[in-house]
């Protein structure tokens, strides 16, 4: 069992050991599941059993037990949190059918001893996962809004710009951290992207602010993730960038690739940004003929015949770290 942000289940017996289709069903009971509600009150290293948070009589009337837990054969429960802090609860859960005996004190103690043996492994896996997630989010730089979503579309991690973007665009994050998009077509694109098990499907959609002053292009990439439960599919990397933000070329790189002079690389970047010859000449305080001479040299060195072809070739040299 792995829960993040207090009690939002990220992985559990349902989504790991049983039919994968049960995972989304479990999420429907997130806010009423007695076992989930008990997560914040569990004690690290100590076994928590059903009797600690629900009476036997109530099990026979509780909606979650009757509709989800008991039909799945997970009647009796013993869970030991190995990692238990403000960011994450991760541990080992044991289950028995309701027709069998509940876990007694001796079995709970053995469960605690076994979990203690596993603690270094889980702690190390948690460190790897945390670093992996943080590195992935930070990889795109401060000018892109980035989030990692789980297989249900819940935001597992994000950068500050993504959280800021969500304050103004036509989307929201609900109480379970699920990303809710306003447009049905966008919701379909998101479900299609995070629903893959082979990392093939992706998607894209646009988000706008209420005043339409900001427009964001969002791309979704399925991202296999290493988690405490092992490798899994169904995670998605969501990368959003402002459409109105100008793209800047990596001038050092195009100088190196095409053997341009520093001045030529500057002119190439201005052409890429759509500046006219006369505007470039005025901005650089040179004659139009000088700019045309630079452009002729740039076309020769890049093996292109006209400015439109040059722009298409330069598009692959956008500096994504500062764009």
Domain closes at, from 223, 242, 261: 242
Which region among 56-65, 185-194, 196-205, 305-314 has the lowest average model confidence (pLDDT)? 196-205
Q: How confident is the model at residue 21 (pLDDT cuts 50, 70, 90)?
A: low
List of residues 6+ apart from 93 with CB closer than 8 A: 1, 12, 13, 77, 78, 79, 80
Q: Are 111 and 47 in contact (CB under 8 A)?
A: yes
End residue of a domain, out of 242, 263, 280:
242
Q: Is residue 322 part of a domain?
A: no
Residues 125 and 192 in one domain: no
Together in a domain, 61 and 121: yes
Cα dist from 124 to 16, 118, 120, 133, 209, whole Å: 20, 10, 6, 14, 41
Q: Do 7 and 130 belong together in one domain?
A: yes
Residues 40, 122 share a domain = yes
Among 93, 114, 136, give the residue marking a domain's end: 136
CA pair distance 305, 285, nearest whole angstrom: 26
Q: How many domains does the chain have?
A: 3
Write the pLDDT tens digit of every residue in 186-238: 787 777 777 654 445 567 778 887 666 788 888 887 665 545 444 344 577 88
Same domain assignment for residues 132 and 146 = no
Mean pLDDT (whole number) for 93-108: 92
Question: Do residues 185 and 230 share a domain?
Answer: yes
In a domain? residue 29: yes
Do 285 and 235 share a structural domain? Answer: no
- pLDDT given at position 320: 56
Nearest in space to 90 (alpha carbons), one of 155, 45, 139: 45
Q: Which domain holds residue 231?
A: 141-242
Per the DSSP assignment, residues forming a β-bridge with 8 are 4
Q: What's the CATH number where 7 sits?
A: 3.30.450
Overall residue count recorded for the chain in this entry: 323
Q: ∠ CA 243-249-255 to the nearest 5 degrees?
A: 170
**CA pseudo-torsion sign 105, 110, 113, 115:** negative
| 9 and 132 fall within a common domain | yes
């Amino acid at each position: 069992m792995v829960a993040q942000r207090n009690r939002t289940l990220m992985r559990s017996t349902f989504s790991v050991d049983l039919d994968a289709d049960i995972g989304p069903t479990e999420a429907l009971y997130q806010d009423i599941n007695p076992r989930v509600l008990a997560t914040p009150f569990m004690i690290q290293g100590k076994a928590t059993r059903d009797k600690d948070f629900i009476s036997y009589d109530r099990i026979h009337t509780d909606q979650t037990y009757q509709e989800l837990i008991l039909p799945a054969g997970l009647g009796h429960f013993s869970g030991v949190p190995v990692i238990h802090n403000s960011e994450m609860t991760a541990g080992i859960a044991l289950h028995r059918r309701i027709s069998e005996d509940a876990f007694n004190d001796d079995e709970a103690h053995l469960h605690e001893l076994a979990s203690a043996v596993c603690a270094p492994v889980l702690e190390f896996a948690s460190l790897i996962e945390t670093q992996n997630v943080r590195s992935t989010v930070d990889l795109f730089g401060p000018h892109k809004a980035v989030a990692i979503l789980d297989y249900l579309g819940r935001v597992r991690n994000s950068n500050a710009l993504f959280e800021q973007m969500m304050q103004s665009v036509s989307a929201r994050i609900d109480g379970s951290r699920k990303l809710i998009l306003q447009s049905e077509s966008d919701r379909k694109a998101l479900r299609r992207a995070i629903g893959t098990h082979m990392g093939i499907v992706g998607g894209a959609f646009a988000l706008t602010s209420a005043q339409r002053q900001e427009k964001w292009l969002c791309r979704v990439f399925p991202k296999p993730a290493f988690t405490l439960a092992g490798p899994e599919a169904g995670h998605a990397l969501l990368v959003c960038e402002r459409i109105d933000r100008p793209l800047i070329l990596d001038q050092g790189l195009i100088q190196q690739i095409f053997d341009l002079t520093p001045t030529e690389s500057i002119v190439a970047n201005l052409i890429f940004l759509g500046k006219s010859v006369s505007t470039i000449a005025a901005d650089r305080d040179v004659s139009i003929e000088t700019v045309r001479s630079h452009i002729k040299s740039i076309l020769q060195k890049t093996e292109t015949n006209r400015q439109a072809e040059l722009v298409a070739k330069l598009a692959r040299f956008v500096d994504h770290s500062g764009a």
